[in-house]
Structure formats: C-alpha cells, structure tokens
Amino acid sequence: GAVVSQHPSWVICKSGTSVKIECRSLDFQATTMFWYRQFPKQSLMLMATSNEGSKATYEQGVEKDKFLINHASLTLSTLTVTSAHPEDSSFYICSARDVGGQQETQYFGPGTRLLVL
C-alpha cells in the first residue's frame, strides 16, 4: 500500500522557537496533503489542506501565520510551527491523498509528537 513518512517523530523544544515537520509520500504522488492535530483522547482535527504549487487552505480558527505550510513538490509538504508555545504541544499527523488509485484514499504518516516546554 501507499506509504507516507513524517519527520521528526518526536520534537521537544523551548517556548518561542520554530519547529518544522516534514511529510513525504514515498511511493506515490500527492497533489493534496492534509495536516491534522490531535490532543490526547480527542478526535483528529483538520488544520489545513496543502495543495502542491498553491497556497494552503486553513480551517477556521487555525492561524495561517503561525502554522506555515509549504507544498513544494508532489511528494513533500512541510508544516512549520512558528514561535511555539506550550499550548501547541500536540500530536501532528499528515496525510496524503493517493489520486492514482480508484479510491482517492488518504494515507496517514506516523505522526509527530511536539512538546513545547
């Protein structure tokens, strides 16, 4: 099946620093990738939709200047959490939509745990 990787898997940083998370589709091209956030024991929350070669579409309540998304190629999207604060500590998960198949399934990366001290 389709494989999506994320890097890093764990990040611990000081408040005020910026953190970049990479999401890669390894064996398929993804014109669309999605960034989710999940707090403990809560549902997945879609943050933004990342489209290759164009600006990301952010969900209501998500600050686009704080969560910078770049989708520079058909296999890579990055999420940068700028000036991170403890309330940004969460599990960040990306997914990529495989439009090559019939189902247009979203496949998820393994997630990145961010802890801001």
Find the length of the chain.
117
Asked if residue 8 binds another protein (CB under 8 A), the reply is no
Report the Cα 27 to chain-centroid distance in Å. 18
- For another protein, which residue of 46, 68, 74, 76 counts as binding (CB under 8 A)? 46
Among 63, 104, 115, 117, binds another protein (CB under 8 A): 104
Told to check if 107 binds another protein by CB under 8 A, we report yes
Using the rule CB under 8 A, which residue among 5, 70, 80, 106 binds another protein? Answer: 106
| CA 17 – CA 81 distance, rounded (Å) | 8
Q: Which among 84, 92, 66 is positioned nearest to 19, based on CA atoms?
A: 84
3-state secondary structure of 36: strand
Q: Which is nearer to another protein, 49 or 80 (CB)?
A: 49
Two tokens at 49? 């939709």
Residues that bind another protein (CB under 8 A): 1, 34, 43-44, 46, 49, 91, 93, 97, 103-111
